[in-house]
Amino acid sequence: MAKEKILVIEDDEDIQELLKFNLAKEGYQVSAAETGEDGLRMATQNLPDLILLDLMLPKIDGLEVCKRIRAHPRASGIPIIMLTAKGEEADVVTGLEIGADDYIAKPFSPKVVIARVRNILRRREKTAPAGDEPLKIRDIFIHPGRHEVSIKNKPVDLTFTEFRVLQLLATRPGWVFTRQQIVDGVRGEDYAVTERSVDVQIVGLRKKMGPSGAMIETVRGVGYRFKDEA
């Protein structure tokens, strides 16, 4: 059975060939584009299952390509992994804010790329849990309807905001959330949440969760993510 279709948008010939070779070796159907214009056209016409998108592209850069894909009625749901160079933290944050799902910094190991691709495609196959349905990850049990959290069957006393932050991160394990995305996800109920206070909420969460608090990972210069189940 044919595997998923991967589109690589990368203008560096050596990196493009490296990605194509290793993805094809894993059985994926791989196509490639060297410019943002060609990548955008291929993404919206062929609708791949996932896109590896370099940020530094000629003419239309990767951020603009990502933005246009997210605005496209048919292609908007395609997962996007950004390929970034060192020192592009601001661009990483911007890319995640406009809809990219993850990022990989250069230089990278092909094994890391394959693992990230597999994880995102696997998560895409799963149906996202409904807002009020209980969620269990390892020893952590979250009941949105009751606003209850337990770890190893022991209740954890969280504030409203701490609960909402944990629920947001745990609903999409492995996803990188910027501080602004966390703010947008938990505010709206007359609770004053700011980007600066997100760090305070995370510190409180980790402390109350004990050893399980290590499942909330800091992504330096970007934000936070909840560890994958695997």
Instruction: Read off the pTM.
Output: 0.67
The range of the structural domain enclosing residue 175 comes to 135-226
Decide which of 63, 90, 125 is a domain's last residue: 125
From the number of C-beta atoms within 10 Å of its C-beta (0-12, 13-18, 19+), residue 145 rates as exposed
More confident residue, 196 or 162: 162
- Residues paired with 7 in a beta bridge: 31, 51
For the beta sheet containing 154-156, the strands, ordered from the edge strand earlier in sequence to the opposite edge, are 135-137, 140-143, 148-151, 154-156
pLDDT-based confidence at residue 138 (cuts at 50, 70, 90):
confident
- CATH number assigned to the domain comprising residue 214: 1.10.10.10
Assess contact for 138 and 215: CB atoms under 8 A.
Answer: yes
Q: Which amino acid is at 158?
A: L
- CATH number assigned to the domain comprising residue 102: 3.40.50.2300
pLDDT-based confidence at residue 129 (cuts at 50, 70, 90):
very low
Decide which of 125, 158, 184 is a domain's last residue: 125
Q: Is residue 42 part of a domain?
A: yes
